[in-house]
Amino acid sequence: MTNGMELFDNLHLAMFSGKGGVGKTTISCTFACRWAQKFVNEQILLISTDPAHSLGDVLQVSVDDIPRPIAELPNLLVRALDAKLLLQKFKERYGQVLELLVERGSFVEGEDLLPVWDLNWPGLDELMGLLEIQRLFNEQQVDRVVVDMAPSGHTLNLFGLMDFLDTFLHSLELFQEKHRYISKTFAGSYTPDRADEFLQTLKAELSQGRRLLQDPTHTACLLVAIAEPMSWLESKRFLEALQTMQVPCGGLFVNQVLTSATDQDRYQEQQLLISQYKALASGKPMFIVPQQDEEPLGIVALSHLIDQIHVPQLEPLSPVRPLPIQWPEKIPPSFGDFLTQGRRLLLIGGKGGVGKTTVAAAIGWAMAQQHPDRKIRMVSIDPAHSLGDAFGLSLGHEPYQITANLRGQEVDSDRILDRFRADYLRELAEMMSGETQTSEAIEMAYAPVAWRKIVEQALPGIDEMLSLLTVMELLEQQEEDLIILDTAPTGHLLRFLEMPTALADWLAWIFKLWIKYQNVLGRTEFMGRLRILRQRVVKAQKVLKDPQQAEFIGVTLNQASVLAEQQRLFKSLQEIGVSQNYLVLNRFNSTATINCDRASRDDYETNFPGLTMVRLPVLPRSVQPLERIQAAGACLF
């Protein structure tokens, strides 16, 4: 029996992305199982580039950076990319020649660069993911690859790295050109060396990788969505971005669709949105994935799901008559008063799609209503913003006055990066070029130009660092009494929380270089500004780790895979030293029992010791966005 998915059988690379929590991992696993069952003589690789992957939770197997076959499907290999391990392999393969090239294009010596490999690189997950996908195909290790990608914002960062890598390669070529020029000037001739060979190889690999990612014949990014307004809005923005990047979109999967009007409120909303998704698909293949009675976990359940995927009906079903709106009652316990408790910063986070933004918006609204004399700001630091969508507003980088004492903001990383360039990066590029050590003609032609090109290029994947700068500034300005962060999904939330240490380590490395070469470099005033920056980073880190000033609030759903990720996040926060007192169980249904494997009353104390579970009931769908936020706030406090 065919269901239309044979349209994708010509592909060799299928990449699944979409808004967090729409079921990317479930659909990518299902897709990989279908390929493995159909192409039994081919080797299929399923990989995840998400730093907080849940492949193992969905497949019910142990997954790490080593590709391992699935027992039921031996031609299906599963692997979760480990960015730090990939960086070490990259260092082993290219480290020495890269250090040589940077040495030729800067004032540093090769030994000065050794500590860099051990630092925490902003954007490392996206960079290593892109390079590994390209390597797998360049070396033809497998026949087909299915990629379970990070949520849409960080997927776009990964694709954006193609342009950055081209610029970086050109800068390395300028470093080498400077070396050639000096050799010809002083030795009268130049003999190509291993750096020339490396540059030719890297250029060919990057060019081939770009062709692969932009080849609509064999490659497609497949969008996974759900029939909810916020998912539709983010899907629209994502498809527009893919078109700009010239990454082919192969189709759309609308997941968790009700097959009958068992929940009339949600059913009506879905039917209206399915027709909007059809228009958004604009002729591309679109598939409906029915809502399952139980979360599909394991190969048997996923194989059963394959046969249920189908194209939508030609005409949308007639919407049912709207029901009277039934608002849920509050279920104790609830939140305390964060302002009275002295909190300055709340971080709202969890797995993608659990309702982080709704909870962040509800807390902001409720706190503003309870304390009309205090100022509250809600800030989205997720590169795929939806804070404005939650309020039915168009938010941007400049704070928007929602009420007299409540403002909302969606951080524009490009704006923050422009300021960071002006304040630090351009002068750092001049310093790294070592321009005072060579003649002016060589300086203008090679090293300074190369370093400027690097810092002027868009730098995808450094959202966490730019978000940290935003939070630092807000805390320092003290214009608001309470700042509420709507954070990126789990993996990149942890990267954000690690960023103060990472940025401080990078600055410490720069200071060591300057101390060694200060007689040549000068730039005492610039080093003073960098020291102040490091002091600001350390101060912000102290606030993040001060339980009196900052607190993390987790949001989860009553699903095994979601609770498993939340448990891992809880342990990571304890290790980092960030305080957490509450866990919000969103979309709570009083008729359903809490998942017995993860959150029964006994297991809850074991898995989330010391946390108060706050239940946020299912909210009506057919209401205005602000009404939902107000109702959520009333239930949480």
The model's pLDDT over 559-581, given as tens digits with 9 standing for 90+, comes to 888 898 899 999 999 999 999 99
Tokens 């993996």, residue located: 491
Q: Name the least confident of 67-76, 118-127, 150-159, 327-336.
A: 118-127
Q: Is pLDDT at 438 greater than 50 in this prediction?
A: no
> Which pLDDT score is estimated for 361?
97
270-273-276 Cα angle (round to 5): 160
> Which pLDDT score is estimated for 436?
54
Q: With CA atoms as reference, report the closest residue to 328 among 14, 621, 8, 91.
A: 621
Q: Is pLDDT at 592 greater than 70 in this prediction?
A: no
- Residue 317 inside a domain? The answer is no
Percent of the chain at pLDDT exceeding 70: 93
* C-beta separation of 127 from 94 below 8 A: no
**Could you give the CA distance from residue 207 to residue 202 in angstroms, rounded to a whole number?**
8
Tokens 């189709």, residue located: 251
Q: Is pLDDT at 442 greater than 60 in this prediction?
A: no
Q: Name the least confident of 157-161, 308-312, 534-538, 596-600.
A: 596-600
Which residues are within 8 A (CB) of 249 and not within 5 positions of it... i.e. 6 or more apart?
A: 220, 221, 222, 223, 239, 242, 243, 284
Burial 587-608 (b: 16+ CB within 10 A, else e): bbeeeeebbeebbeeebbeebb
Question: Is 248 in the same domain as 366?
Answer: no
Q: With CA atoms as reference, report the closest residue to 387 among 372, 402, 403, 375.
A: 402
Q: Is pLDDT at 600 greater than 70 in this prediction?
A: no
Question: Is 36 in the same domain as 139?
Answer: yes
Q: What is the mean pLDDT of the chain?
A: 87
- Residue 249 inside a domain? The answer is yes
- Residue 42 inside a domain? The answer is yes
Q: Is pLDDT at 487 greater than 60 in this prediction?
A: yes
Q: Name the least confident of 215-224, 268-277, 371-380.
A: 268-277
Strands (E), 461-537: 482-486
Question: Is 287 in the same domain as 401?
Answer: no
**Could you give the CA distance from residue 189 to residue 576 in angstroms, rounded to a whole number?**
55
Residue 618 class from Cβ within 10 Å (0-12 exposed, 13-18 middle, 19+ buried)?
middle
Could you tell me the pLDDT band of residue 444, with boundaries at 50, 70 and 90? very low
Q: With CA atoms as reference, report the closest residue to 93 among 135, 121, 51.
A: 135
Question: Is 180 in the same domain as 291?
Answer: yes
* C-beta separation of 310 from 3 below 8 A: yes
Using CA atoms, how far residue 48 sits from 15, 101, 354, 430, 489, in Å, is 10, 32, 20, 38, 15
> Which pLDDT score is estimated for 596?
40
Q: What share of the chain is helix, strand, coil (3-state, %, to 5)?
A: 50, 15, 35
Which is more confidently placed, 37 or 187? 37
Q: Is pLDDT at 259 greater than 90 in this prediction?
A: no
Q: What does the pLDDT look like over 204-220, one tens digit per residue? A: 888 888 888 889 999 99
- Residue 103 inside a domain? The answer is no
Could you tell me the pLDDT band of residue 459, with boundaries at 50, 70 and 90? low
Domain that holds residue 576: 345-411+463-493+540-636
Could you tell me the pLDDT band of residue 598, with boundaries at 50, 70 and 90? very low
Using CA atoms, how far residue 436 sits from 112, 509, 588, in Å, is 19, 21, 65
**Could you give the CA distance from residue 463 to residue 414 in angstroms, rounded to a whole number?**
9
Helix axes 625-636, 356-370, angle to 10 degrees: 70
Question: Is 363 in the same domain as 218?
Answer: no
> Which pLDDT score is estimated for 128?
85
Strands 400-403 and 406-410: antiparallel
> Which pLDDT score is estimated for 439?
44
Q: Is the dihedral of CA 453, 128, 150, 41 positive or negative?
A: positive
CA distance between the termini of the chain: 52
**Could you give the CA distance from residue 150 to residue 130 in angstroms, rounded to a whole number?**
12
Question: Is 139 in the same domain as 215?
Answer: yes
Which is more confidently placed, 404 or 282? 404
Q: What does the pLDDT look like over 90-142, one tens digit per residue? A: 888 888 898 888 888 888 887 888 888 887 777 777 788 888 888 887 788 88
How many structural domains are present in the chain? Answer: 2
Q: Is pLDDT at 300 greater than 70 in this prediction?
A: yes
> Which pLDDT score is estimated for 522?
85
Task: Return the half-sphere exposure (C-beta side, CA atoms, 13 A cut-off) of residue 253.
Answer: 32
Strand-pair partners of 66: none
- Residue 617 inside a domain? The answer is yes
Question: Is 273 in the same domain as 357?
Answer: no
Which residues are within 8 A (CB) of 224 and not within 5 positions of it... i.e. 6 or more apart?
A: 16, 17, 18, 22, 23, 24, 27, 28, 252, 253, 255
Which is more confidently placed, 387 or 116? 387
Region for residue 444 given its phi and psi (left: phi exceeds 0; alpha: psi -120 to 50; beta: otherwise): alpha
Task: Return the half-sphere exposure (C-beta side, CA atoms, 13 A cut-off) of residue 522.
Answer: 7
Question: Is 278 in the same domain as 387?
Answer: no
Tokens 């493995």, residue located: 36
> Which pLDDT score is estimated for 352?
82
> Which pLDDT score is estimated for 547?
96
Q: How many helices (DSSP H) and strands (DSSP E) are in the chain?
A: 21, 16
The whole-number average pLDDT for the span 481-487 is: 95
Question: Is 295 in the same domain as 383?
Answer: no
Q: Is pLDDT at 392 greater than 70 in this prediction?
A: yes
Boundary residue ending a domain (279, 306, 333): 306
Question: Is 169 in the same domain as 239?
Answer: yes
What CATH number does the domain containing 243 carry?
A: 3.40.50.300
- Residue 443 inside a domain? The answer is no
Report residue 144: phi and psi, to 5°.
Answer: -140, 150
Q: Name the token pair of 90.
A: 């990259």
The whole-number average pLDDT for the span 362-390 is: 94
Question: Is 598 in the same domain as 471?
Answer: yes
Region for residue 259 given its phi and psi (left: phi exceeds 0; alpha: psi -120 to 50; beta: otherwise): alpha
Boundary residue ending a domain (306, 334, 359): 306
**Could you give the CA distance from residue 548 to residue 104 in angstroms, rounded to a whole number?**
49
> Which pLDDT score is estimated for 606?
77
What 8-state DSSP symbol labels residue 117? G
Which residues are within 8 A (CB) of 200 and not within 5 positions of it... i.e. 6 or more apart?
A: none
- Residue 418 inside a domain? The answer is no
**Cα-trace Rg, the chain:** 26
> Which pLDDT score is estimated for 577?
94
DSSP assignment of 65-82 equals SS-EE-SS-TTEEEEE--
Question: Is 180 in the same domain as 53?
Answer: yes
The whole-number average pLDDT for the span 411-434 is: 87
* C-beta separation of 15 from 149 below 8 A: yes
- Residue 214 inside a domain? The answer is yes
Boundary residue ending a domain (275, 306, 337): 306
